[in-house]
Structures are given as C-alpha cells and as structure tokens.
Amino acid sequence: MARQQLQVLHALDVARTQRYHAWAVVIAGMGFFADAYDIFCITLVTKLLGRIYYHVPGQQVPGMLPRRIEAAINGVTFCGMIVGQLLFGWLGDKVGRKMFYGKTIMLMIMGSFLSGLSFGNTADGVMATLCFFRFWLGVGIGGDYPLSATIISEYSNKRTRGSLIAAVFAMEGFGILAGCIVTLVVSATFQARFNPPAYDEDHMASVPPQADYVWRIILMVGAIPAVFTYRWRVMMPETARYTALVARDAEKAARDMSKVLKVELSGEQDKIEGFTKDRDYGVFSRRFARRHGWHLVGAVASWFVLDIVFYSQIILQEEIFRDIKWIPEANSMSALEEAYRVARAQAIIALCGTLPGYWFTIAFVDVVGRKAIQFLGFTMMKGLMLVVAGLYHQLTQPGRRIWLVVMYAFTFFFANFGPNSTTFIIPAEVFPAHVRTTCHGISSAAGKVGAIVGTFGFLYASQRADGSNERETGYPSGIGVRASLFVLAACNVLGIIFTCLLPEPNGRSLEEVSGEPINGEDADLGDSKVLPL
C-alpha cells in the first residue's frame, strides 16, 4: 500500500536544503568540534605530564606517567562517555531531544575548564582530580552523540540527510586538528620564551616550571567553542518527529516547523493516533527484537569493532613516529620540544588522512549509500594494514619511510571515509522515533567499549616483542606493531561481516526505513529488512 505520512513530516522530507539545515549543522557540529578537541588533546600532553610530575632525579630518561595513571587518564573519559551515551540516549526518547541538549554542552564546558585547574598536594592527587573532571567531561561528550545525531537526522530532508549528519561528525576532524594547532602554538611560545635545554644537557632545566601552564591552557581551550554553542542549543525547537510521533502533539510540531520552513502546515491531530498506535514497546521487547534486533546487533558490533581499530591506530602512532624518526629519543629533547614534535606529527596525519576522509563521506554518502562506504572503509583498512604489517621492517628503513607514512595516513582516510562516519550516521536513521536516541546511545556506547579495548589492549600489545623499549616507555614487552597490525586487519574482517546486518537508509524517509506504523497498521517489514549492498 502507498505509505501515508503526516504533512509536517512530509514537508521536512521534501524540503530543499536551506539555511535552517546549515544552522542546525553548525550548532551540532560545534559541539562535535569541542568533543574531538577534548578527547584527543589529552594524548598530546600525557608525556608532558609525566615529565612534570613524575621526574626521578638522576634517572637517565625523562619522567613518565605510571602505567596505571596513564591508563586512568586515557580511559576515564571513555567511561564517562559510555555513561553519557546511555543516560542521555534514554532521556532523549523519554523527555525529548532538546531538553538536555544544552545541559550536555554545559557539562563539556565545565569539564574542560576544570580539567585545566586540576590540583593536589601530590602528583597522584593532581592526576586524580584531572581524572574526576575528565569523567564528567566524558559524560557531556557522550550525551552529545545520540542527541546531535538524532536531532540532525530528524531535521533533515531525505535527499541530503546522510550528508548533513556526516557534516556534523566531520567537525570532529577540525577539532582534532585544532588540538594539534593549539599545542603547537602554546608549546612553541613557551619554548621560545624560556628556551629550556634537552634532557641530556640538564635534567631539571629541561622542564621549566612554566611548563605546568602549557598543559592546563591546552585543556582549557576546549571550553571555548562549547561556550559559543550553548545559547544556540537552548533556542532550538524540539524536532517535529519527537513532538508528533512520541509526544503525540502534531499541532505543536506543525507550528514549530512552520516557523522553521516558513510555510503554513496543518497539524492533523486527528490522524496522530493512527501513526502512533502500538508504540509502547521498548528496546528489550520481543517486538523490537523481531523488527530491529539484527539492526541493533549490526550497529553495536560494527561500532565496537571500528573503535577497536580506530583508537588502537592512535596508540600505534607513537611507535610508528619513533620508527620513522619523526620524533627523536625523549632524552634528546626538552619537555616543550617533545610536546611540539608530537603535535606536529599528529597534525600532518590529520591534514593528510583524517580531514579528507570526513569530507569524502559528505560528498558521497547520499550518492552511493551508507553501507557501500562502510564496506569500502573496512575493506581498505584491512588491505592497508596487511600491506603495512607484511612490509613493516622494510618500510621503516631510511629512504622508504615516506611510504609507511602514506599508507598509515590512508588507513585514517578510509576510517573516516568509511565506518568512523557511517557508524555514527546509520543508528540515527534505522530505528523508530520512540527508541531512536536510546538505540544510538547503545550503539555509540558499544563503540566506546571498543575504544577502551583498543586503547589499553594495544597500548600493551604494540610494545616491542624483545622488550628493547621497556625502559623508555615503562611498558613490558608485547607482540610489537607488526603483529598488532595483523590483529587489527582481522578486526576489519569482522566489521565487514557485521555491516551485512544493517539496512540501507539512503533516499528513504525515517519512517519508511524503520518500518513504522501506517494508520495503525504495521508497515511491511520489507521496508526495514536487511538489504543487500
């Protein structure tokens, strides 16, 4: 039968891309800019923290964060994100997408700012307060995932919906680059002003007292873009799909969207019962399992596998940069020079691989579809990692290192022109309105569990098998970068398999792809079945 739809939802689906779409992307995207800055900037300052707070007088190598401390600093934000994704995902379906949209950004502002004010009578005390504040920062960032994705999805037309959601997520790339740039500027400024010697020359002078301001400034800058976003978020109207299909107030949905679209819309309140009948089933019900269980498994598993691969790549960066001689031995640099060199290396990778991948997704996601891009990304990452792993020893030799950099950058390119973007997009489209943010929150939380596995598992696994860098890194011997890349290639194969469980939402309304009721009758499940590529 022909699919019927409320007038206000049809108007959103067929609207041309216009100013309010750009406005919504900027509001949500600036949050993701701040999210990415806050998540990734900590990796730029961990070595500086080790030199400042854990220097051992007379030791021949600079101070390093103890393993438990480094694990806590890197992992506590992910733990907070899991809490935020699950909590605000559930609240987004219970009380509305907009209700807590400003509150998540406030948590991010406070978490970023207070992280830079971390205090304590001992080094461990400072790290403990830093972890406390970064946990709450993570809660705010986590809440931003399901709310931003769903709000943009429900505001968008069906022709460019994928590109608009991808544009929000692409701001993550600019946030990563901004973290590198801020670190470069701040560390270079302090280096020029105080000119500390290398650690080999003078252990104490290589870490000037003013270096303690550097990491604090870098962390606190993350609050600035979030501050500018807050006012816009609280002014946004609730999405029409939540108001009409979940709150069951079609008249209010029509009034709100009439102002946004600048057209007269009828609420059709008399029809709302037919479109919202039998919507009392939850995520853990048999009905949901029958209709969307495999979709949720596919979304959860794909994001879990992707984040294992994506975040372990970031951990592998340090070892790869050392092998290709982009970052000299730690004792040949001052603390500020080391921070500068790490940020410079990561900025090059971001410019060459990370940023272009996001924007290729924006360009092609509504042309070839979400699943095609996700398949392509997992497949290319698998192939590139196998090549790099197979030729790793040859590629780290002088004269060939540029090829290692190129292939490593391409793995980031295909992560972002691939599953890192599409795992964010698809859960915002394929589930019914009354459980949409909950399902997105569950999927993204699974991703952050994968991030914890990737971060901590490969932090140990990537250490050299012969233990030759144990004194420098503080970690016991592992399986090495080469073997780690083989394991990650296998993870990409799993990602390809799990992608097959997902439907293709491209070019279809949210109600069509999720198989929501038509005038009280269940839609044909063929609309929401697992589709071939």
pLDDT for 494 beyond 50: yes
What is the average pLDDT value for the chain, to the nearest integer? 88
Helix (H/G/I), strand (E/B), else coil: 432: coil
Q: Is 325 left (phi over 0), alpha (psi -120 to 50) or beta?
A: left
| 188 vs 401, more confident | 188
What's the pLDDT score for residue 95?
A: 94
Confidence of residue 527 (pLDDT cuts 50, 70, 90): very low
Q: Kindly write down the DSSP assignment for every residue of 214-251, as one continuous string.
A: HHHHHHHHTHHHHHHHHHHHHHSPPPHHIIIIIS--HH
How far apart are alpha carbons 214 and 225 in whole angstroms? 19
Mean local confidence (pLDDT), 99-113: 95
Q: Residue 104 burial (CB < 10 Å; 0-12/13-18/19+)?
A: buried
Token duo for residue 170: 């692409």
Helix (H/G/I), strand (E/B), else coil: 185: helix
Q: Which of 69, 73, 78, 99 is nearest to 35 (CA)?
A: 78
What's the pLDDT score for residue 397?
A: 79
Tell me the pLDDT tens digit for each residue of 402-415: 888 888 889 989 99
H or E segment at 471? helix 470-473
pTM here is 0.91
The Cα angle at residue 61 between residues 60 and 62, in degrees rounded to 5: 125
What is the share, in percent, of the chain residues with pLDDT greater than 70? Answer: 89
pLDDT for 519 beyond 70: no
How far apart are alpha carbons 348 and 181 in whole angstroms? 11
pLDDT for 383 beyond 90: yes
CB atoms within 10 A of CB 95: 13
pLDDT for 274 beyond 80: no
How far apart are alpha carbons 282 and 160 in whole angstroms? 29
Contact in structure between 184 and 342 (CB atoms under 8 Å): no
H or E segment at 343? helix 335-349
What's the pLDDT score for residue 152?
A: 96
pLDDT for 7 beyond 90: no
How far apart are alpha carbons 130 and 421 in whole angstroms? 30
Q: Give the domain ranges of the chain.
A: 13-528
What's the pLDDT score for residue 220?
A: 97
Please tell me the least confidently modeled range out of 427-436, 478-487, 517-526: 517-526
CB atoms within 10 A of CB 259: 11
**Matching residue, tokens 């022709």:** 159
Report the top-level CATH class of 13-528.
mainly alpha
How far apart are alpha carbons 110 and 102 in whole angstroms? 13
Q: Which of 389, 375, 365, 408 is nearest to 306 (CA)?
A: 375
Confidence of residue 462 (pLDDT cuts 50, 70, 90): low
For the chain, the residue count is 533
What 8-state DSSP symbol labels residue 435? Answer: G
Tell me the pLDDT tens digit for each residue of 313-352: 776 676 677 777 778 888 889 999 999 999 998 898 889 8
Q: Give Dmax over CA atoms of the chain in angstroms.
A: 81
Q: Which of 180, 226, 219 is nearest to 35 (CA)?
A: 226
Tell me the pLDDT tens digit for each residue of 177-207: 999 999 999 999 999 999 999 999 998 999 9
